[in-house]
Amino acid sequence: QSALTQPASVSGSPGQSITISCTGTSSDVGGYDYVSWYQQYPGKAPKLMIYDVSNRPSGVSNRFSASKSGNTASLTISGLQAEDEADYYCCSYTTSSTLVVFGGGTKLTVL
């Protein structure tokens, strides 16, 4: 099972909005509304930011939003802040031989 495809890096200035894409197939992203997003700071465990394509767990800022179209999911961070600088991973349930697949990760740099 190949990893979901994410851009290696994105950047934006404070206050701006950025979007990170996550492309899969009809066996994962496109087939189910079971896409999640994780934020990870260096040396720290990941944190769940989005589940079921567009839902935020309690405590996650509403500056984080997400959606899906076909085989591509997207995470948008609005009003960028320095603290948003981190790695972001998409993740999906899959009907392939495995059960769960992650994206390769995207490094967000806040300029």
Contacts with other proteins, residue ranges (CB under 8 A): 1, 3, 34-36, 38, 40, 45-48, 51-52, 57, 87, 89, 91-93, 97-105
Cβ 79 to other proteins shortest distance, Å? 25
Distance CA 106, CA 68 (A): 17
Distance CA 106, CA 5 (A): 10
Measured at the alpha carbon of residue 13, what is the angle toward residues 7 and 18, in degrees to the nearest 5? 40
From residue 68, alpha-carbon distances to 22, 93, 96 in Å are 9, 14, 20
Measured at the alpha carbon of residue 10, what is the angle toward residues 3 and 91, in degrees to the nearest 5? 30
Closer of 15 and 57 to other proteins (Cβ) = 57
Closer of 81 and 96 to other proteins (Cβ) = 96
Cβ 19 to other proteins shortest distance, Å? 19
Cβ 89 to other proteins shortest distance, Å? 5
Cβ 62 to other proteins shortest distance, Å? 19
Closer of 14 and 101 to other proteins (Cβ) = 101
